[in-house]
């Protein structure tokens, strides 16, 4: 069974601060996705990382896939209240019957 651990579980910061959330596993993944979920809505795909060591930027969000493709991080620069939500990572491996493994999520609150 492939497991993904996210940390921290909860994070509350002030607007303008930087933060990093982590997604770790002992398993290797073919790709890893990050999603953001706002209250009352379904998760929305933010990014997919595929190559070990890959870094992708989406405005103030920077995503990194570990060299061994077992872990990933999400860094947010100058957080804004609109970044508030549940951040989920999901790992995919082709032999896992087409199913992604989701972490339990990091709940981020950005206070104005």
Where on the chain is the footprint of another protein (CB under 8 A)? 30-31, 33, 35, 40-45, 48, 86, 88, 90, 92, 97-100, 102-105, 107
Task: Name the minimum Å distance from CB 78 to another protein.
Answer: 26
User: Coil, strand or helix: which one is 46?
Assistant: strand
How far, in Å, CA of 105 to CA of 34, rounded?
10
Residue 10 vs 82, nearer CB to another protein? 10
Task: Name the minimum Å distance from CB 34 to another protein.
Answer: 11
Residue 41 vs 82, nearer CB to another protein? 41
Residue 18 vs 108, nearer CB to another protein? 108
Token pair in block for residue 109: 């609150």
Q: Where are the beta strands (DSSP E) in 1-112?
A: 5-7, 10-14, 19-24, 31-37, 44-49, 55-58, 61-65, 71-76, 85-92, 100-102, 106-111
Task: Name the minimum Å distance from CB 98 to another protein.
Answer: 4
């Amino acid at each position: 069974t492939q497991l993904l651990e996210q940390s921290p579980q909860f994070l509350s910061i002030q607007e303008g601060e930087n933060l990093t959330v982590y997604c770790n596993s002992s398993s290797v993944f073919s790709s890893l996705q990050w999603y953001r979920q706002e209250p009352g809505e379904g998760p929305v795909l933010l990014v997919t990382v595929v190559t070990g060591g890959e870094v992708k930027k989406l405005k103030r969000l920077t995503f990194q896939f570990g060299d061994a493709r077992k872990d990933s991080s999400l860094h947010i620069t100058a957080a804004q209240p609109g970044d508030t939500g549940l951040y989920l990572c999901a790992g995919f491996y082709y032999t896992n019957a087409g199913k992604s493994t989701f972490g339990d999520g990091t709940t981020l609150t950005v206070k104005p």
